Amino acid sequence: MPQSEDRRLVDLEARLEREDPRFTRAMRSGRPTRPREYRRTGAWCGLGLGVAVLGSGIVLAQGLLIAGGLVLVGMAAQLADPDPARMTNGRFGRR
């Protein structure tokens, strides 16, 4: 590699170390974890709870349960959707 490309790699490594030291340590050990934005466990649990509350509100004809279920489903959908402000050309970009 030419010297300029080596320097770019060193600069990139230093910036990544400053921005996300936990990820850098994981890469050095060879076992990186999934980034937080790809973990959707909470969103799926919220969606299941929201659908259950919504369904029970429909069965029991209770407006408050229906409204609560709709709110929970909306919150879960927001959690499951990646931040659109970070999307650039179909890939995640910098904030």
pLDDT at 90: 52
Terminus-to-terminus CA distance in the chain, angstroms? 30
Domain boundaries in the chain? 1-33, 37-95
Residue whose structure tokens are 């429909």: 58
Element (H, E) at 26: helix 21-29
pLDDT tens, residue by residue, 21-42: 887 888 888 877 776 666 788 8
pLDDT tier for residue 47 given thresholds of 50, 70 and 90: very high
Give pTM, 2 decimals.
0.55
φ, ψ for residue 39, nearest 5 deg: -90, 115
pLDDT at 72: 94
Of residues 81 and 76, the one with the higher pLDDT is 76
pLDDT at 17: 87
User: Highest mean pLDDT range out of 7-11, 66-70, 82-86?
Assistant: 66-70
Token reading at 14? 């230093």
Residue 1: CB partners within 8 Å, gap ≥ 6?
A: 9
